[in-house]
Amino acid sequence: MTSLNRRSLLRGSAAVGAGLPLGTLLTSPALAHGAPSLVRAGRPVLTHGVQAGDAVSGSVTLWSRADRPARLVAEISRDPSFRRARTVPGPVVGPETDFTGQWQVRGLPSSADLFYRVRAVPQHDHDRASDPVVGRFRSGATGRDDIRFLWSGDIAGQGWGVNPDLGGFRIADAMRRANADFFLCSGDNCYADGPVQETVVLPDGRVWRNLVTEEKTAVAQTLDQYRGQYKYNLLADNWRAFLGETAQITQWDDHEVLNNWYPGEILEGRAGFADGTRVDVLAARARQAFHEYVPVSPTSPDRLGRVYRKLSYGPLLDVFVLDMRTHKDPNTTDRETVADGGLLGKEQTAWLLRELGRSKATWKVIANDLPLGLVVPDGTNQESASQGDPGAPLGRELDIAPVLTAIKRMGIRNHVWLTADVHYTAAHHYSPDRAAYQDFDPFWEFVSGPLNAGAFGPNALDATFGPQAVFTAVPPRASASPLEGYQFFGQVDIDARTQQLTVRLNDVDGKTLFSKTLDPAAR
């Protein structure tokens, strides 16, 4: 197996698979949708491309979807021609998972550029396998290697869906050019409560066009409607290509189910839903669809299947993925004076502090799907981790304060928080010198997004933990479309030689609007 330079590979156009260019296999709508011109008669079809998730040292989780019952089988190799490939059988897929399947592949080399191709093989007719769909990913490091990853969130919201005039999602082209080792999605992977229509006229007279499917014409309530949200996003050719060539780490937030939801909520007066609808029922369906369509490794320690987990990338980086949705208490004015675990929960808090304490990585990136200091109203109540009161911690801040204090007292250095959710991009510096609550060390939180949704902002900052908005980029009006350019993704580079971590906040075309380089502090 020969060593390959990933940057050179991504700039090139190597031929792979069945004689087709990699770009064709990743982006072709015909392959993705099973067009008869590229499908051999009577054979299965992989309908929505391929994906790789949680690609850490030695293992990865692969994903695909067939159009009928079949076994998914992957070949994986460092060689783009697959002359020396390892075959890894996957699951037999059927209607119980909407014909999706994912499987963990172990025993992979570290810090390697790996190609994989997936076929769907009929159980009783192995000679009639589907045409392959090819992907690639970089396996996680164990040594001291340069690391680059992207993060953002908020996909197909506020009526801005898959636009065929833009190849799907405008921002995906810039993200592909970034040649990242992996992509961290900070939540709102879909907008299950966000129907789309065929055309939207912008204030300047331009016309936005959406692809429309049956599942995207109304708010999702059934399992099939929730599944349809993920299938819809994969109609975006350039987004499907990005996911096919970049491993992902994914967390979820609210729009995978319903805007601003919390466990135990009963809907009253919500458009599209009958009064008395139990959100817990909707969330169970949405959770099933999420796990069917998003490759997530079985590494979460949570006995109830929540998606928080730690992923390690050698001596330079550990990523701590939080679930700040499943544990939430009801949205109130959030001025309670007694902590009730209504944001992280006791079990997740204990896990986070335990794993932070065990981490030997230089940098600890904490992926928080809710920003710590931004105020996000829900009518007269609060959806956010903070509520705008600048004094001592109240409400959900009572969950955050002990975490920040414990991090300080445990001597944990170099923790950086990455988030999305609020549909603009910003750099926040938190300092006890500006704070009402002062028992913590200074740290940075960086905000990015949306990927393809309405742009908003800025939100008010809550002074309890002393945040300062060092940089913001916001649209001139609410729900600005992707055509107007206010879509953002973040980029993180860790230099193996200096161990410096650099955060870049990039616009829809990949232009860097703000950059901050952080020097590592000794533990």
pLDDT in tens, 330-379: 999 999 999 988 999 999 999 999 999 999 999 999 999 999 999 999 99
Q: What pLDDT does residue 141 have?
A: 85
What domains, with CATH codes, occur in the chain? 6-138 (2.60.40.380), 147-518 (3.60.21.70)
Query: Is the separation of the CB atoms in 182 and 250 below 8 Å?
Result: no
The pTM of the full predicted model, rounded to 2 decimals, is 0.92
> Is the model more confident about 36 or about 114?
114
DSSP label of 163: B
Determine phi and psi for 520, rounding to 5 degrees. Answer: -70, 140
Low-confidence winner among 124-133, 218-227, 304-313 (lowest mean pLDDT): 304-313
Tokens standing for 126? 């192995």
- In angstroms, how far is CA 453 from the centroid of its own chain? 14
Residue 409: CB atoms within 10 A of its CB come to 11
Low-confidence winner among 22-31, 142-151, 370-379 (lowest mean pLDDT): 22-31
Q: What pLDDT does residue 25 have?
A: 43
Helix 279-293 and helix 223-233: axis angle, to 10°? 40
Q: What pLDDT does residue 103 have?
A: 97
* 97-106 confidence digits (pLDDT tens): 999 999 999 9
* 248-306 confidence digits (pLDDT tens): 999 999 999 999 999 999 999 999 999 999 999 999 999 999 999 999 998 887 777 77
- In DSSP terms, 159 is beta-bridged to none
Model confidence at 406, in pLDDT bands (50, 70, 90)? very high
Question: How far is Cα 393 from Cα 396, in angstroms, rounded to an integer?
Answer: 8
Laid out side by side, the sheet with 59-66 consists of: 100-106, 59-66, 46-56, 247-250, 182-185, 147-152, 489-494, 501-506, 512-518
Q: What pLDDT does residue 41 have?
A: 58
- In DSSP terms, 272 is beta-bridged to none
Question: How far is Cα 316 from Cα 318, in angstroms, rounded to an integer?
Answer: 7
The dihedral built from the CA positions of residue 185, 191, 197 and 199, taken in this order, carries a sign that is negative
Q: What percent of the chain has pLDDT over 90?
A: 86
Query: Is the separation of the CB atoms in 435 and 466 below 8 Å?
Result: yes
| Res. 383: pLDDT tops 80 | yes
Determine phi and psi for 240, rounding to 5 degrees. Answer: -60, -40
Region 398-426: mean pLDDT is 97
The dihedral built from the CA positions of residue 20, 24, 29 and 31, taken in this order, carries a sign that is positive
Query: Is the separation of the CB atoms in 66 and 120 below 8 Å?
Result: yes
* 452-491 confidence digits (pLDDT tens): 999 999 999 999 999 999 999 999 999 999 999 999 999 9
Q: What pLDDT does residue 245 have?
A: 97
